[in-house]
Structure 1
Amino acid sequence: MKTVTIAGRKLPAIGIGTWHMGDQNRLREQEIAAIRAGVEAGARLIDTAEMYGNGRSEQLVGEAIKPYSREDLFIVDKVLPTNASRQRMERSLDRSLKNVGTDYFDLYLYHWRGMIPLSETVAELERLKQTGKIKAWGVSNFDVADLEELFNVVGGKNCQANEDLYNLGNRGIDYDLISYQVQHNLPLIAYSPVAQGDSLGTNLTSNQVIKEIATNHGVSPYQVLLAWTIRHPQVLAIPQTSNPKHAKENILAGEIKLTSDELAAIDTVFPAPKKKVGLEML
């Protein structure tokens, strides 16, 4: 299974996303079962955020991980831009830690850029790292210009990952961001890596090329989309599903290796961008 190293931890290249999870009580047991199915299939990274359901996703994650050793997992949480200040971040972090039921996060991300100076946010992230409440920190929804600015801030080069929208239908970052992150040894965490199977009006899973590749490997089209997303050495994907069977299949996609011919065929029907586009976000 392909692995990616983040903050010194070698992790399977498919993790577990939890956006939109925890919002419906009728799905709670099924969602918990899906997270556990992912962990039991080999996933180690679980991604959540204070924004997701105003803490409900964090609470769901907290319940789901109870049977497991905390040290075996790599939990990622995120702070909202409005809470990314010297005055508010630790209080926000403490609330998230309580929701998940843990003493620390392995990685704490600045969710997206807001009005607070980047230097202040980084300084506070660095301070919180010293407390042991976070092991490492990173960013989310940053483009090349944002990362360049970050790396010029005191402590900014301690950033351990950037989490961005990336899938076959949203591949704008292929133009320059992925190569920039490789150059700076900064892993990418890809959110919405299968685009719910549909993106920008293109039904990805029903595309004939994708279906043929899936048949050749004996896997589902969704698994092909995931395998494509993690084809670069430093990319880890965090698909979200409330279906335990799909959760297991997601993790097993980390074992699929697409051939150069298959990748070329995919590029023919879903070409890489030829010019810079604005950072896509959901």
Structure 2
Amino acid sequence: MPPSMVERMTLILDAFERRSSRLNLEEVAQRTRLPRSTAHRILDQLVKLDWLDHGSLGYGLGRRALGFGDSGNNHAELRSVANPYLHELHMRTGMVVHLSALDGADEIFLDKIGGRFAGKLASKVGGRCGAHWNSGGRAMLAALTPEEVDDLVGERIRAHRGEEGWSLPELHQELNRIRQHYGLSIDRSGRRSMGLISVGAAIVGPEGPEAAVCLCPPSNAVPLERYAPLVLATTREISNEMYPELQRLAGQRGGRSGAPRVAGGHRRVLRTA
């Protein structure tokens, strides 16, 4: 007896072994052993119903599938993949390392690794601040289009009228500078942030910024530019492990793997609340 529609849909959804998996049509048909035409028809239906999404790197789990059981609030895979890279960055520099993600207009801290100096920083795991306050948050914002930035944080900045140290034109100027410097965000003073002197870069997935890594030295005497390449390399390694399809696509285009998407396209901001 041929499998029912429900069974075929389940086969396709089960083909995505990880939350971050991206598969093309041929890979879905091969994994499910369904005829290519059948797989394509069901994939289209699953995309229309938000069980899957479809982008330049193929199909991935959509809003409905990602929300099952945790309302889309689970960063476990990201933290698991990132953890060894964060520890390596801390061991190589001796500095405090943060992992954070966007949650609407906020940056939320998912992990914090460091020695005794870590306790002196205001940041804490689970804590949050304005997405534009710190180098990690601004690195993620720089991986969005100006229109997306306006939608995300514009209302909050206008409401505070510069009380947080930023006007919208100033923020856009800073984000343009970050884009021109390979996605690196450097804050040498901490004046317009939580007081965190830091260098950050975004972890970029198929549809935009997934998270950020931020490195904080014990004093402003540390030349942050010296450590910027390590931060950038860490984010690219995490992105490449979570999204190996990015490397494949970069190879096909003759580009550099893990290069940030800084404009255009659909974005997916990780939601935690």
Higher RCO (CA < 8 A, seq sep 6+):
1
* Same-fold status (TM-score > 0.5): no
TM-score category, normalised to shorter length: under 0.3
Structure with higher Rg: it is 2
Query: What TM-score does the superposition give when structure 1 sets the normalisation length?
Result: 0.25
